[in-house]
Amino acid sequence: MPGVTYERQKRIIGGAPVVLHVVRAPSSGGLYRLRPVLSDGTVPGRRTVPSMQRALAGRATTVGVNGDFFNLATGRPNGLFLRGRILRARPNAYRSSLAVGSTGTVVANRFTLDAWWRAGSYDAHPLKEFNRPLTVPGVALYTPPWAARTPRRQGVVEVVFERFPRARLDRTLTATVTRVRRDGGGRVPPDGAVLQARGSWRSTLLAEAARGSSVSFQLQMTGFPADAPDGIGGGPLLVRDGVPVRDADEWFSFDQLMLRHPRTAVGQLGNGRMLFVVVEGRSRYSRGLTNWQLAQTMAGLGAQTAIGLDGGGSSTLAVDGRVLNRPSDGAPRRVAEGLFVHYYGIYAPPRSRGVITPNGDGVGDRTRVTAKVVRRSAVDLRLVRPNGSIAWRLRKGVGRGTITRTVGTPGMRNGPWRWVVRATDSRSGRRSKMVRHFSVNKTLGFLRLSKERMRVVARRGGRLWVSARLTRRARLAVTVRSSAGTVRRVLYSGPAPRGAHGWRWDGRGTRGKVVRRGVYTIGVRATNELGSVRLREKVRVVRTRR
């Protein structure tokens, strides 16, 4: 997307191969905003990173990574989740969190929850937990993002608020008790909250917060920037003031810090741009990194500030719902959160084909070009010919949605075409633009095989005719490949004039031996001043005795 770059790097780090995926993107401002995403809108929910992005696709185009560490059994994140100054999960005081400022500046630090509750004219009392089970005597507050029901524990008491203000930081929140109940496991009202007490705090809660009484709350985070609307947990701290941090003294195990794993990190460059890095691991082609190696890598990429996020099988980098790395689980893991740059301008997804051959043979004749708008805008969409003239244009005001056009007619000129999309946001007046390129190359077409199933006999081989047409002179390469992609035979390699051409395959490989049974691909590639174009067809080889 505009302003966003992506690199896949292969390196040797610590004597082992490592694959890095690196995205650099604008920070918050204008048509961009860095925001954490809670998977299902609830603390214990889990979804894959691409699934989260697809759910957001109608409101923004996103690029980013998985978020904080989380409990695999319950799905609860380990630390902070703050969105629009509304607290969903409290910070972990023993691990770093990332505060995202409204101007785009990020701050990595340890933050602690400092919260209290007070019923009527009674004294204020500390709030021990927020959207997390009580493990010791105290009082905990549960809001709708927690889950449908409170933690069940025999002996606890609860007071219920059917109406409760959103859990905003640094404001006094007031609600009226509508019910009192015991043992937990009760419903959290969708617009309310529940205050649960354990141990000696049960009697205090029952005495002071009777039904009909007014209870006040305040949620604060020590050290958290006042201008930061969003925040997400993670850790450990990797880079401070451009210097890699070897030991941040955070609450992580030896295994998490010292062994090589797939890893995810987020940082900010000196120019304010965001840096997302995912390291592949647990394979021969990429061994992963230790935490110290990751810190050095982030500093080497120019990060002034950086923290780690959840790693291992959770490490995922995706754009607009498409995964860019190879997760070590073999597929994206369902995780608790994501951290994405949201882009609100016009977006043109990659074309369905980068090269089309509109010659009427029914293969590769067309491609689809698309423009996605997530806010009401005035759009200007153009399909531009190789000579710069406009083949098609649409100018109109549109709401949120997608405009798709199928491109490919025999009359299209050979050469590089452009799909140029522009939009002006009707509300803010901000402008955005994207350009996608594709090529028309009608040099090669009408690849045909004489049969779909070729019978070969030991020592005698078989017979298959291959034909194709050229509309202009090109250099041809005609190959036979196995299902694994290995070249088993080169039928022709060299220049060829325009016109029809044919080749014969006798069912033998490069060394003259008859090939084994299986599915083989006949590929023809033509290369000239227009570039390269390929066509492929499959044939099933069956071996018989005679």
Q: What one-character-per-residue DSSP string does 206-241 give?
A: HHHS-TT-EEEEEEEEET--TT--EEEE---EEEET
Strands of 288-398 (E only): list them.
303-309, 317-319, 322-323, 337-343, 355-356, 367-373, 377-384, 390-398
Class of 112-222 per CATH? mainly beta
**pLDDT value of residue 458:** 86
Q: What is the rounded average pLDDT of the residues 332-354? A: 95
**Do 324 and 65 contact (CB within 8 A), yes or no?**
no
Q: Where in the chain is the domain with CATH 2.60.40.4070?
A: 444-544
Q: Where in the chain is the domain with CATH 2.60.40.2550?
A: 355-440
Q: What is the DSSP string of 248-310?
A: ---S--HHHHHS-B-EEEEEEETTS-EEEEEE--SSSS---B-HHHHHHHHHHTTEEEEEEE-
- Longest CA–CA span in the chain (Å) reads 100
Local confidence band at 189 (pLDDT 50, 70, 90 cut-offs): very high
Quick one: pLDDT at residue 169? 96
Query: Looking at the predicted structure, is the pLDDT value of residue 546 above 80?
Result: no
**Above pLDDT 70, what percent of the chain?**
100
Say if residue 310's pLDDT is above 90.
yes
Residues 6+ apart with CB under 8 A from 533: 355, 357, 364, 441, 443, 444, 525, 526
Which part of the chain is CATH 2.60.120? 112-222
* pLDDT, position 148: 87
131-154 tens-digit pLDDT = 999 999 999 999 999 988 999 999
Q: pLDDT grade, residue 459 (50/70/90)? A: confident
Question: pLDDT digits over 237-293, tens only?
Answer: 999 999 999 999 999 999 999 999 999 999 999 999 999 999 999 999 999 999 999
Residues 230 and 266: their CA atoms lie apart, in Å, by 15
DSSP 324: -
Query: Is residue 80 pLDDT above 90, yes or no?
Result: yes
The pair of structure tokens assigned to 254 is 């030896």
Q: Are 323 and 315 in contact (CB under 8 A)?
A: no
CA dist., res. 307 & res. 98, Å (int): 8
Determine contact, residues 316/48, Cβ cutoff 8 Å.
yes
Phi, psi of 256 (to 5 degrees): -65, -30
Over residues 29-73, the pLDDT tens digits come to 999 999 999 998 889 989 999 999 999 999 999 999 999 999 998
**Domain 355-440 in this protein, CATH class:** mainly beta
Considering the chain, what is the average pLDDT of its residues? 96
Question: How far is Cα 409 from Cα 378, in angstroms, rounded to an integer?
Answer: 28
Mean pLDDT for 171-181 is 97
* Distance, CA of 197 to CA of 138 (rounded, Å): 6
Of residues 80 and 544, the one with the higher pLDDT is 80
Residue 352 — φ and ψ, nearest 5°?
Answer: -65, -30
Q: What is the CATH number of domain 444-544?
A: 2.60.40.4070
CA distance 121 to 155: 27
Strands 453-457 and 531-544 come out as: parallel
pLDDT over 90 (residue 303): yes
Q: Is the pLDDT of residue 23 over 80?
A: yes
pLDDT average, residue stretch 212-221: 97
Locus of tokens 């969003």? 230
